[in-house]
Structure 1
């Protein structure tokens, strides 16, 4: 990045089937009008996202830590280090200060998205993350790690204004980060 940028991060937290993904689908197109949007989804069970026998799967099986696939329409990367064995932060001040491997994996993912120039990241799940949070369903504020900035049943325009007003995390051009998230 050529200059300092800001990464707004908001978490959607609630029980299964409470409507988190539906809310993501409503927020993303509206936030995309403001800049680049990424999403991060916490998945609680292992899944195979790469078809066994394909070249990318064979690269990964051979031991590549990260495999990048480039198709005519999509680019994707698969990194072998998930929640159980996340990579260490690559900066002196990670976005999320934590010893929890799951939150370290989220922090490292947010660092990569910031380095790629995203403006807003919506995190579905990771309720313990210390980032601004929208509660969906019957989850109470005591069940999340971040400050509550709205509820899933609030009017969409109110939720968008809450997200847009976040100060975000400063991402200096030379690497390293300082957490300046709004509370």
Structure 2
């Protein structure tokens, strides 16, 4: 199915404790008025998100590449490919011509979210990503990989309009 992308992606870049997560919490419900919203958070250390001993954890440690859990309130999936070993595109090609595994993992995630029909993705972290970026706090603009499209000090309405009018994102390149 070849369809024109409608996914709009924005990256929030700033130092720790600069207000990125607070801004995500403000943007997401407002963007949700215009379409489905997903968020992606860069985590720089390994964490265990699946409780050892649970069935989903046992499925994953048995070797499943992806485990999907469906509860009365949530559906979640856990995949084994992270920043160290990012997944390839479904056809086996690389999604991004870069040796940066972190950017490869982000490209794969954005492609998956696009296929799932999301309208907006707010990315927290991934400062090197060549994505439209909102600077939060005192981050040096030269330290980010994308075009600066706003600042955390801009009004919420200005930031929402900026995000809503971004060009659809089909790739990180």
With normalisation by structure 1, the TM-score equals 0.88
Q: CA RMSD in A?
A: 1.8
Gaps of 5+ in 1: 171-178
Q: How many residues align?
A: 172
Gaps of 5+ in 2: none
Aligned residue in 1 for 2:84: 84
CA shift at 1:2, angstroms? 8.0
Matches within 5 A, 1:1-183: 3-90=3-90, 94=95, 96-170=96-170, 179=171
CA shift at 1:5, angstroms? 3.4
CA shift at 1:169, angstroms? 2.1
Secondary structure of 2:63 counterpart: coil
Secondary structure of 1:78 counterpart: strand
2:99 and 2:8 map into 1 onto residues whose CA distance is: 23
1:115 and 1:34 map into 2 onto residues whose CA distance is: 18
- The alpha-carbon distance between structure 1 residues 152 and 88, as it changes in their structure 2 partners (threshold 3 A), is same
With normalisation by structure 2, the TM-score equals 0.93
2:161 and 2:121 map into 1 onto residues whose CA distance is: 15
Secondary structure of 1:6 counterpart: coil
1:3 and 1:49 map into 2 onto residues whose CA distance is: 34
1:117 and 1:162 map into 2 onto residues whose CA distance is: 20
1:2 and 1:11 map into 2 onto residues whose CA distance is: 26
